[in-house]
A and B are shown apart, each in its own frame.
Chain A
Amino acid sequence: MTDREIVERADAAIAEEFELDPGSLRPEALFREDLGLDSLDAVDMVVVLEQAFGIKIGKDPAIASIRNVGDMHEFILAKKRGLEKNAS
């Protein structure tokens, strides 16, 4: 999976599960201020990403520093790279 495909899949899953306009998911868009999501949604997002990519995230402390869509992309890309590294 290329980075671009990963980002697209993450965006699609989040737009659908949080009923957001896909166009609003610009990398600089802040989840709290721009997209109206809160702490409760963040917890749900973990499960959305886990199921979109078939991976386990759980209570990864890195989630707490996700503030905008770009942070989320970085997070999931790092997660995927970490898994590939472990597999190889």
Chain B
Amino acid sequence: MSARGDKTCIVVGAGLSGMTAALLLARRGRAVTLVEKKAAVGPTLRGFSRKGVHFDTGLHYAGGLSPGGPLLRYFSLLGLNDLPLAEFNPQGFDRIRFPDAGREITLPVGCDALTDALCSEFPADVAFIRRYLRELKNAFYASPLLRSDENRPFRTDAGLQDVFFPASTDKARADRGFHAGFRNESLDTVLRKGTGNDLLRAVLSIHSLLYGVSPEEIPFLQHARVAGSYLEGVKTVRGGGKRLVETLEKRLTEAGVDILRGTAAKGFHLSPDNRINGLELEDGRLLPADDAIFTAHPALLPALLPPGAVKPAFVRRLLSLEDTVSSFTLFCASEVPVPALAGNNLFICFREGPAPGFRPTGAAAAGPFYISGLPLGTRDVVPGLPPDACGSVIPPGTGRTAYDVPSDAGRTVSVLPPDADRTASDVPFGAGDPVYGLPADCGGAVPKHGHMVFAPGHADSCKAWARSKSGNRPAAYGHFKAETLDSVRSAVLRHCPELASLNAMDGATPLTYRDFLESPGCGMYGTKHSLHQFSPLPATRIPNLWTAGQSVIAPGILGAIISGVTACAFVLGPEAIHEELAACRCFKP
């Protein structure tokens, strides 16, 4: 108990799920401490900058952001209603290029529009396309966590209870077999049963690249939880993941959450009845706790538990979980707008579909590739700033606000702050604006946004350097990284020459992701939701410890938020969460 007499809750990890959980708990009167190892909260969502170009590593685009859509409802729950949203091209938010088929398929926003577009591209498969997309939508909304008309969305007693080791009297239940989700077929199986057209199968499984599990392994239902969201309201936050995380950080502060940044957890303390009663930090402090939520990678949990706290089998399972795919990534900037990436994302895939990229033998340059685009209305990159603007800071009170440089389109360009720690879209301009300067090396142009080129990667490819740390990698690793990324760049340009203006400013390998994402197996989205393994559940073997994060419920922005909400439903009881959700249901009917 804290001085105020509130029950205390510790949340380990300030990613999106941890921030979600901390906020809801604080709002319901808990004294919450949010512990984050990295220097800032939401490190993945926050992204990073190079030479004034921001790279949004956490949020590229999201679905379910139409009025009344599931993600917007959860934004509302978190007090993020005022976030400005940016749309992608409604006629084509995703373009999928198939170099070996000489085709490019464009996916429009909206279930009906998508159905029409695919039926026109694949006229022989009209019946299957209609059935499949209906199923996808149904499967997405089958989750009570996503259905807006569900009166009691959270049942913490659902799930595995009594499914395994059924009571000896309950033979009938045992014979009925598994929880519905376990009977699920893989996405690939569902698609193969429905169509012999490999190109159509590739199109319908392309979004597996957004959660990092092969179509051969992902249960169709789990695929639907991500891909189904792209049927409506495909948008992003204007200002990207960084604005999302900064807004959430404000809400956390307003709610009284104690945020410990740059603070690593060392170990939980347990009472004799095997309940958590505190968390010891690396700096030696001991925080008392009545409840705890762990949101980091599941494989990092056993090290925080004292010996004997849980059975060895539980530890073994957490350490055995397979990670999602990793990546070799190019972080690129262009000084001129790239029409191929304006208002849409671009995928480069082959007829075989995305599956080969998930196999450990797959070479990065063999793809498939995902290249992040920019939403509509992103201010153009404007070349031709006066050279003396570079490296300058405009002092306050001089009457000069920002460099007013008319672009080709007659618009005014805003400029980047010298610390390059903000995106251009954050920068207000006009009379009375605050002070901004330009990065010293901007070369007379202000590249505003970065594009990321993702190729598949696997932890094994970097095994030889697994012991090295960022900033201290051996030269051989450097050569390997440069060669691999160069091969990715060549392959992408071969298939997509119109991307030639993209300049690589930095690159990442699976090892980069391991360290940046604190993901021991290098996975981009935590552990796999797969037909072949059981994902961690919110409940653990310790009665007042819960887990949340992409590995637990589902990956992505929506999955992470829902997993944080679900963990809170365990701590607070489902009624409390039901009330919170009901209160925000009226948001934009």
Contacts and interface: CB of A to CB of B under 8 A. Distances in A.
A40 B316 CA distance: 13
Interface in A1-35: 16-19, 30-33
A81 B533 CA distance: 22
B165 A61 contact: no
Interface in B163-222: 163-168, 174-175, 177-178, 182-183
A85 interface: no
B311 interface: yes
A16 to B, nearest CB: 7
A48 B178 contact: no
A46 B160 CA distance: 14
Give the interface residue-count category, chain B. 20 to 34
A interface secondary structure, majority: helix
Interface stretch (B20-28, B353-361, B534-542): B534-542
B549 to A, nearest CB: 18
Most A CB contacts (10 A, CB to CB) among B311, B313, B530 go to: B313
Contacts of A43: 160, 164, 317, 534, 537
Nearest to B308: A19
B312 interface: yes
A79 interface: no
Nearest to A32: B165
A44 B314 contact: yes
A37 interface: yes
Contacts of A50: 320
Interface in B531-577: 531-534, 537, 539, 541
A61 B312 contact: no
A39 B164 contact: yes
A39 B183 contact: no
Contacts of A77: none
Contacts of B539: 40
B316 A47 contact: yes
Contacts of A40: 160, 314, 537, 539, 541
Given A18-B313, A19-B311, A65-B177, A59 B534 contact: yes
Contact of B174 (A41, A46, A48, A64): A64
A33 B168 contact: yes
Contact of A63 (B164, B320, B532): B164
B438 to A, nearest CB: 55
Contact of A37 (B161, B165, B530): B165
A58 interface: yes
A41 B182 contact: no
Contacts of A51: 316, 320
B273 to A, nearest CB: 16
A47 B475 CA distance: 38
A18 B160 CA distance: 19
Most A CB contacts (10 A, CB to CB) among B178, B183, B537 go to: B178
Given A31-B165, A43-B317, A65-B175, A59 B311 contact: no
B162 A39 contact: yes
Contacts of B160: 39-40, 42-43
Nearest to A45: B313
Contacts of B174: 64-65, 67
Most A CB contacts (10 A, CB to CB) among B162, B530, B533 go to: B533
A59 B182 CA distance: 7
Contact of B178 (A18, A56, A58, A61): A61
A39 B531 contact: no
A67 B316 contact: no
Nearest to B533: A58
Interface string B442-467: 00000000000000000000000000
A42 B317 CA distance: 11
Given A59-B531, A67-B174, A47 B320 contact: yes
Contact of A19 (B162, B166, B312): B312
Contacts of B534: 43, 46, 59
Contacts of B165: 30-32, 37-39, 41-42, 66-67
B531 A58 contact: yes
Contact of A18 (B166, B311, B531, B533): B311
A31 B320 CA distance: 23
Contacts of B530: 58
Interface string A63-83: 111111000000000000000
A17 B530 CA distance: 24
A73 to B, nearest CB: 15
Nearest to B182: A59
A45 B320 CA distance: 12
Contacts of B178: 59, 61, 64
Contact of B182 (A37, A38, A47, A61): A61
Interface string B336-358: 00000000000000000000000
Interface string B503-540: 00000000000000000000000000011111001010
Interface in B310-342: 311-314, 316-317, 320
A48 B182 contact: no
A43 B298 CA distance: 15
A19 B308 CA distance: 10
B163 A39 contact: yes
Contacts of A59: 178, 182, 531-534
Contacts of B168: 30, 32-33, 67-68
29 contacts: A17-B312, A19-B312, A30-B165, A30-B168, A32-B167, A32-B168, A39-B162, A39-B164, A39-B165, A40-B314, A41-B164, A42-B160, A43-B160, A43-B164, A44-B311, A44-B313, A46-B534, A47-B313, A47-B316, A48-B316, A50-B320, A51-B320, A59-B531, A59-B532, A61-B182, A63-B164, A64-B166, A65-B174, A65-B175
- Which are the 3 A-B pairs with shortest beta-carbon distances? A42-B164, A58-B532, A17-B313
Given A48-B313, A64-B164, 10 more contacts: A30-B168, A33-B168, A37-B165, A39-B160, A39-B164, A41-B165, A59-B531, A59-B534, A64-B166, A67-B174
